[in-house]
Amino acid sequence: MTSKNLLEHQSLHRLRLHPHLNGGLRVQHQLILKAILVVSISLFVASCTRTTVPLLPTSTAPTEIPQVNPTPFVISTFEPSGMYAVVGIPEGEILLLRNPAGITGSIVDELAYDERGITATGNAANLGSSIWMEIQTPDGSRGWVNSLNMTEDVSQEQFCQDARALMVLDNSLRSIQAQDGDLLAQIINPRRGLVIRHDWWNPEVIVPADSVSGIFDDRSEMEWGLMSGSEFKIQGSFKEIILPLLEDTILNSPVVVCGEVPSGTTSRQNLWPTEYTSLNYFAIHRPAPEGGNAFDWRTWALVFEYIDGEPFLTSIIHFHGDV
**What is the pLDDT confidence band of residue 229, given thresholds at 50, 70 and 90?**
confident
Q: How many whole angstroms separate alpha carbon 285 and alpha carbon 91?
A: 26
**Whether the predicted pLDDT of 87 surpasses 50:** yes
pLDDT of residue 30: 35
Can you list the pairs that 133-139 forms with residues at least 24 positions away whose Cβ atoms lie under 8 Å?
134/101, 135/84, 135/97, 137/97, 137/109, 137/111
**Whether the predicted pLDDT of 70 surpasses 90:** no
Looking at the chain, the whole-number percentage of residues with pLDDT higher than 70 is: 76
pLDDT of residue 190: 97
pLDDT of residue 25: 28
**What is the pLDDT confidence band of residue 228, given thresholds at 50, 70 and 90?**
confident
Reported as a single tens digit per residue, the pLDDT across 187-197 is: 999 999 999 99
**Whether the predicted pLDDT of 72 surpasses 60:** no
**pLDDT, average across residues 95-108:** 97
**pLDDT, average across residues 218-238:** 95
- Residue with more model confidence, 219 or 71: 219
DSSP E strands in 128-267: the ranges are 130-136, 142-146, 150-152, 194-197, 205-207, 222-226, 233-236, 255-258
Max CA-CA distance within the chain? 61
**Whether the predicted pLDDT of 294 surpasses 50:** yes
Q: What is the pTM of this model?
A: 0.80
Residue 201 zone, left/alpha/beta (φ > 0; ψ -120 to 50; rest):
alpha
pLDDT of residue 75: 63
- How do beta strands 255-258 and 43-48 pair? parallel
Tell me the average pLDDT of the chain: 82
Looking at the chain, the whole-number percentage of residues with pLDDT higher than 90 is: 71
Contact call for residues 263 and 58 (beta carbons, < 8 A): yes
- What distance, in Å, lies between the first and last C-alpha atoms of the chain? 41
Reported as a single tens digit per residue, the pLDDT across 25-65 is: 222 333 333 333 233 333 333 333 333 323 333 333 333 43
Least confident of 27-41, 70-84, 142-156, 260-274: 27-41
**pLDDT, average across residues 229-236:** 93
Which of 271, 299, 297, 272 shows the shortest CA–CA distance to 285?
A: 299
**What is the pLDDT confidence band of residue 11, given thresholds at 50, 70 and 90?**
very low
Give the residue extent of every domain in the chain.
3-78+155-320, 83-152
Which of 43, 41, 35, 42 shows the shortest CA–CA distance to 72?
A: 35
Contact call for residues 50 and 259 (beta carbons, < 8 A): yes
- How do beta strands 280-286 and 310-320 pair? unpaired
| Helix, strand, coil % in the chain, rounded to nearest 5 | 20, 35, 45
Query: Is CATH 2.30.30.40 the right assignment for the domain spanning 83-152?
Result: yes
**Whether the predicted pLDDT of 323 surpasses 80:** no
Reported as a single tens digit per residue, the pLDDT across 244-290 is: 999 999 999 899 999 999 999 999 889 999 999 999 999 999 999 99
